[in-house]
Structure 1
Amino acid sequence: MSLLADSFGSALTLLASADATLSEITWLSLRVSATATLLAAALGLPLGAWVALARGGWRQSVIVVLNAAMGLPPVVVGLVVYLLLSRSGPLGTLGWLFTPAGMVMAQTVLITPIIAALARQTIEDAHAPLADWFASLGLTTTQRVVTLLHEARFSLAVVLLAGFGRAIAEVGAVMMVGGNIAGSTRVMTTTIALETSKGDLPLALALGMLLVTLVLMVNGGAQALKRWMERRHG
């Protein structure tokens, strides 16, 4: 009990003093996950909208693949990205292995299907009451996609928050691709795992409290935005 109390007290001291190592790790985590979320949004939102409006026989197969990809094991994603970025891999010349850029790539691959699948459902729901109006205007699929992305922008913001929350809490893929190098690729989740194994509980606890706080803030923001949208349209 004494060890837990001492570790908890030391963790609070680290947080209160804005420890430099703590700040560096937190900032890198936010930067990597935010960049990955933006890239995943650029890929996943148009893809989700396109699938939502498509009417081909292959559509259901794509939906099944997207939904299945939402549950991709992070270690599998990490392995695939590692092989792509390794010296003998097709993207080895980029030199991204064991760098923040490689970690961004791994997180982007991981959360793009999540954003695409959730965006597909959101856009499909938004399109249903507007389909006849779009048809009367003779809008092309591209015009419909652009219009629906704008109309559903607040709902899609919730989707992006969900993607960011998933990215910042990820550990397996970023550890494999980033290497957990001090001062370079060490983020919150990988540091928690490392410091716990080393017995440095204060730093692990401090980062754990920060990570939980960030996840709660993201989810709280998503819920608040959702309630605001319901009141706005209700």
Structure 2
Amino acid sequence: MQDFGAAFGAAFQLVISLDPDLIEIVGLSLRVSLAAVVAAAAVGLPLGAALAVARFPGRGVALVALNSLMGLPPVVVGLLVYLTLSRAGPLGPLGLLYTPTAMVIAQMILVIPIVAAVTRQTVEDLKDEYDEQLRVLGVGPAGMVATLLWDARYSLLTALLAGFGRAIAEVGAVIIVGGNIAHVTRVMTTAIALETSKGDLALALGLGIILLALAIGVNAAVMGIRRTAGHAAFA
């Protein structure tokens, strides 16, 4: 086990010198998580807005289910994706298991409920405020969804950032479907777990520093977007 002081010094040196292994791991982490958030947004934004606008039998059950899915255990998601992509699974012939694509799928499933639930609440609040105006203008359900999504764009960006924070920090699902293979599927969280177990604290701390910086950056972006949204509302 390395001395803590030496380990921190070595970790900062890895970050400052842009160590190739560290940059490769960080780059893969960002690509996987950003792809997962984009895919989750394509599903979650219209789904959440549709649930906010539409009224149908069983809507209450659908909302309860959606809110419950926000607490999906990552390891359970990883197991389900693993079974689906394994050789005996329905998508086994595609050969996606232990690839970055498998990790994108797992993270996307985890992020979709967050994006959809926040979108539903945000759009429903706006609908209550503008419902009469939209009806007077003869805006149909599809047009209402598009209008409210655009009007809520700043608030919805915070939902996407929250989803990115969930995705980038995920370890349970991605280690199951990705396998933590060096130079193939090793991302920051899985690398930190592995290097810590090996006693190589320098790389683990270096990655931890970057992960913490990303978390701070995401929170700062959320605050900035909320401030911008507040100014836009009073403009």
TM-score range, shorter chain: over 0.9
Corresponding residue of 1:42? 42
SS of the residue corresponding to residue 3 of structure 2 reads helix
Q: Aligned equivalents of 2:32 and 2:88: distance in 1?
A: 25
Q: Which runs of 5+ in 1 are unaligned?
A: none
TM-score normalised per structure 1: 0.98
Deviation by residue 1:188-224 (Cα, 9 ceiling, x = unmatched) = 0000000000000000000001001001101110111
Distance between the aligned counterparts of 1:143 and 1:94, measured in 2? 38
Secondary structure of the structure 2 residue equivalent to 1:170: coil
1:2 to partner: Cα distance: 7.7
Q: Distance in 2 between matches of 1:231 and 1:63?
A: 31
1:24, CA displacement in angstroms? 0.3
Moved more, 134-143 or 180-189: 134-143
**Alpha-carbon distance in structure 2 between the residues aligned to 1:202 and 1:165:** 23
Moved over 6 A (4+): none
Please provide the CA RMSD for this pair.
Answer: 1.2
Residues 1:145 and 2:145 are matched in the alignment: yes
| CA distance in 2: counterparts of 1:196 and 1:14, whole angstroms | 16
TM-score relative to the length of structure 2: 0.97
- Determine the structure 2 residue equivalent to 1:200: 200
Q: Distance in 1 between matches of 2:2 and 2:183?
A: 31
- Structure 1 vs Structure 2: percent identity of aligned residues? 55
Q: CA deviation at 1:68?
A: 0.4
SS where residue 113 of structure 1 aligns? helix
- Counterpart of 2:221 in structure 1: which amino acid? G
Alignment of 1:21-100 (within 5 A): 21-100=21-100
Give yes or no for contact 2:2–2:199 (8 Å, CA) kept in 1. no
* Number of aligned positions between the proteins: 234
User: Structure 1, residues 139-189: CA drift from partner, whole Å, max 9, x if none?
Assistant: 221111111111111111111001001100000000000000000000000
CA shift digits 1:38-82 (9 cap, x unpaired): 000000000000000121231111110111000000000000000
